[in-house]
Amino acid sequence: MEARIIVLLSVFSVLLIPGAGQTSAAKTLPIHDGIGGEFAAQSSLGREVRLSEFAGKPVLLFFGYTSCQDVCPATLSRLGSLTRRLGPRAGDVQVLLVTVDPDNDTAEHLREYLARFDDRFIGVTGSQEAMDRIAALYMVKHDASHGMKVTTEHNRSKALVKEAFLYSHSQQIYLLDKAGRTRAFFFTGSPLDEMEQAVLALLSEGTPEPESGVRSDLDHGEHPGSMTNLDQGEHPGSMTNLDQGEHPGSMTRHDAQNSMED
């Protein structure tokens, strides 16, 4: 009887501990203020998509291109493995690939390429200017590393064009929550257990109310993919608001950049 009382008291004490029973990811995923924002662009669906249309779903966002020979297919394979692990819950998560090579990566090419990994993945494309502006929202660096096109005939997987630029580009995967806020960064080699735990933690969260003044590339009626007011600090969490921490556990753009570079 005494032992039973001790066990019950132990269980009760655990329930009183803040955060007890939650996954470590649920307790530690910060909000990376200033990384990301609303955007709109053409897509592999054959129509314009906006990030906000996926509100209510965690989003895994990656920048790459279909002629990539190594990192991009490896990353997309990793994301395919993750969605298979999620099972039925994968339908509540969206994977987006934003191309850094829109000249070659048409909506049709992206649709055909992404279907090799998971036909639910969506590709984002448009003008080079539009893609550059979306990349800037997420602090992504990219460039045609050799300045000239090379043959794709030796690519490990079938390429959709005969020649393409080789791009060097940032390789992180962005995990966005149901409100489109950046909450974590992963890479091709990140453990699947860690990625799955983080996604499940966001799935268990409620959908926050939309915030007024969130940084966006659609402000002031400019064309989709444009980037505005980055030098005025007008929006919470904008590029210039490096000393603000509007959300509990938030990280500034400067902090997040250091995190990605470590």
Domains of the chain: 25-261 (3.40.30.10)
* pLDDT for 181 beyond 70: yes
Percent of the chain residues topping a pLDDT of 90:
49
Average pLDDT, whole number, for the chain? 74
Provide the pLDDT confidence category of residue 164 given band limits of 50, 70 and 90.
Answer: low
Tens digit of each residue's pLDDT (9 = 90 or more) over 7-44: 334 433 333 333 434 444 545 799 999 999 999 999 99
**What's the pLDDT score for residue 28?**
72
- A 10 A CB-CB count for 194 gives 13
* pLDDT for 66 beyond 80: yes
Q: What is the mean pLDDT of residues 162-167?
A: 56
* pLDDT for 85 beyond 70: yes
**By the 8 A CB rule, do 65 and 98 touch?**
no
Q: Helix (H, G, I), strand (E, B), or coil: what is residue 95?
A: strand
**What's the pLDDT score for residue 215?**
59
Q: What is the mean pLDDT of residues 64-85?
A: 91
Which of 16-25, 174-183, 228-237, 250-259 holds the top average pLDDT? Answer: 174-183
Provide the pLDDT confidence category of residue 208 given band limits of 50, 70 and 90.
Answer: confident
* pLDDT for 226 beyond 50: no
Query: Under 8 Å CB-to-CB from 71, ≥6 apart: which residues?
Result: 64, 171, 188
**By the 8 A CB rule, do 192 and 79 touch?**
no
Which of 74-78, 149-153, 237-241, 242-246 holds the top average pLDDT? Answer: 74-78
Provide the pLDDT confidence category of residue 218 given band limits of 50, 70 and 90.
Answer: low
**What's the pLDDT score for residue 61?**
97
- The residue among 257 and 71 whose pLDDT is bigger is 71
Neighbouring C-alpha atoms within 13 Å toward the C-beta of 172: 21
Which of 104-118, 202-216, 230-244 holds the top average pLDDT? Answer: 104-118
